[in-house]
Structure 1
Amino acid sequence: MELLNFPDAFKVKIVQKLNRFVVLVEHNGQRMLAHNTNTGRLKELLTPQREAFCIPKKGGKTDCKLIAVKEKTLESFVLIETNLQMKAFEEAQRKGLINWLAPQRWNLVRKNALLGENSYIDYLFEEIETKKKLYLEVKSAALRSPDGNFGMYPDCSSLRGQKHLKEIINNPDQAGVLFICALKGVKGFKPHIEGDPQIYQLLKEAKKVGVPIKAISLYFDPEKKAVILENPDLEVVI
């Protein structure tokens, strides 16, 4: 199912990652600065000569926005742009494509909702019939497992991720976690233990206290220049 379309997306080649937010790319012989919104290391993806897709942007210190990168040994493209991952999720939920979060049952109240004293969670949903609240934190899983079957998070240590999970564990009856596996053909999600052992332990604790942990999969289709929802309810292995 197509969720988002980008007719103005154009193909580039990665030259090098300059810093956390900027990647040098080349398009038709011209070098450009591309904005990268993904805070992961992405060392498996952002390598020289790797094919990628960007979209135009206006203003700022960069020329375009990096949205998708081709996997090394596969023909598929990983949707690395985290804002687009969120927009795709919102579109899927609005269209009723995610059964466990159907719009007939759940209403989106707001984004960036305060949970606890100082933790802002990505979404606050409310069950229409019971008024039960669901604070849903979304994490990007753009790393493929060695066997190719799982999307994984995180690819590096994340203090922010740890903070969110601790707050969610303290509110297991009204908070949950969603992992967006931005990879084609994965069968499930699992934590990347080596990326952050603390997050792995926190996820185990969250599961133990009853926090709902869900996952979906989507990817960027280079022919259609579109974000495709592949599986709205992936298996979660913790």
Structure 2
Amino acid sequence: MGMPLRILSIAGATECMFVRRENRFVGLARCGGRDTRVHINNTGRLLDLLFPGAEVLCIEIDSPRTPLRVVGTRVDGDRWTLIDTKLQERVFILSVEGGYIPWLAGYRVVKRDLDLGGLKIDFLLRSLHSGREAIVELKSAVYYHPSDRSARYPDTISHRGRRHIEALINSSGYERYLVFIAGHPEAEIFGPSSIDPILPGLLKRALEAGVLIKAIKIYIDDRSVVLSNPDLPTTLEPPLI
């Protein structure tokens, strides 16, 4: 893909300054001179993204307690890391439906939150041509490693993430995809972080079991969410430093 493809407009987004994180889902940001509680729809630690003074992009939501939701953190100019998992999911669906992801060409989303052994897997897809079904689990890879310009997952030990990967390994009857959303504009490759020592080996087990490990690069440019690379290169090795 050449120029980033604009998938979704967030024209009404507001720029704010992040003050602090109060818990996993709530933070405080200064918006228009007022301190406002904001919703954070990403359970990662995000220490390199949500720190006091960070410039954040927020959208309005229907919640009296948290009227804004943080969707991005500024990288430079009008480019922002897309940290919001709801927008990541929405743009993934639009990209599949629009035929913008070549390795899912002809597929359509037919179900969300598929129950798989007591765990919820994000999507069930079906091929319009063959009728073959595929299951897809998305993971948010917004931890950026500048030494090799890589998007990494996770930024903290994720027992839930491990369980999802185990569920994909142990499932049968579907094509199985583990898809990492690289949300940083500078990311050129995806790989596991060194923070969770179990994950690199688990990803190798998944690949050996036939799970397809993919990454797509999606970020915010100005006031649009763009698809920059629908097939970002991947590695199963953690960074050297």
> What is the TM-score when the length of structure 2 is the normalising length?
0.91
Task: Confirm or deny: 8 A CA contact 1:172 1:209 kept in the other structure.
Answer: no
In 2, distance between residues paired with 1:173 and 1:212?
A: 14
Corresponding residue of 1:44: 48
- Residues 148/4 of structure 1: CA separation in 2 closer, same or farther (3 Å cut): farther
Task: Confirm or deny: 8 A CA contact 1:140 1:153 kept in the other structure.
Answer: yes
Corresponding residue of 1:171: 171
Show CA shifts across 1:47-103 (max 9, x none): 1111111111222421211110124xx55311111000010111111111101111x
Question: Which amino acid is the alignment partner of residue 183 of structure 1?
Answer: H
1:4 corresponds to 2:5: no
Match of 2:234 among 214, 221, 236: 236
Task: Confirm or deny: 8 A CA contact 1:173 1:211 kept in the other structure.
Answer: no
In 2, distance between residues paired with 1:179 and 1:173?
A: 22
Pairwise CA distance, 1:10? 0.8
Task: Provide the identity percentage.
Answer: 33
In 1, distance between residues paired with 2:119 and 2:92?
A: 21
Corresponding residue of 1:87: 90
Task: Confirm or deny: 8 A CA contact 1:189 1:215 kept in the other structure.
Answer: yes
The correspondence of residues 78-157 of structure 1 with structure 2, limited to 5 A, is 78-102=81-105, 105-115=106-116, 117-157=117-157
The correspondence of residues 16-95 of structure 1 with structure 2, limited to 5 A, is 16-71=20-75, 74-75=76-77, 76-95=79-98
Q: Secondary structure at the match of 2:51?
A: coil
Pairwise CA distance, 1:148? 4.7
Count of aligned pairs: 230
Pairwise CA distance, 1:2? 0.7
Pairwise CA distance, 1:199? 2.1
In 1, distance between residues paired with 2:127 and 2:10?
A: 33
In 2, distance between residues paired with 1:150 and 1:89?
A: 20
Corresponding residue of 2:215: 215
Task: Confirm or deny: 8 A CA contact 1:172 1:210 kept in the other structure.
Answer: no
Q: CA RMSD in A?
A: 1.4
1:189 corresponds to 2:187: no
Question: Which amino acid is the alignment partner of residue 167 of structure 2?
Answer: E
In 1, distance between residues paired with 2:128 and 2:9?
A: 30
Question: Which amino acid is the alignment partner of residue 177 of structure 1?
Answer: L
In 1, distance between residues paired with 2:185 and 2:42?
A: 18
Pairwise CA distance, 1:128? 2.9
In 1, distance between residues paired with 2:180 and 2:87?
A: 14
Please identify runs of 4+ aligned residues in structure 1 that moved more than 3 A.
Answer: none
Pairwise CA distance, 1:132? 2.2
Show CA shifts across 1:174-228 (max 9, x none): 222000101113211100122x12222211111122210111001111x3x1101
> What is the TM-score when the length of structure 1 is the normalising length?
0.92
Corresponding residue of 2:239: none
In 1, distance between residues paired with 2:28 and 2:63?
A: 17
In 1, distance between residues paired with 2:146 and 2:220?
A: 21
Gaps of 5+ in 2: 237-241
Pairwise CA distance, 1:129? 3.3
Question: Which amino acid is the alignment partner of residue 46 of structure 1?
Answer: L
In 2, distance between residues paired with 1:93 and 1:130?
A: 16
In 2, distance between residues paired with 1:173 and 1:211?
A: 12
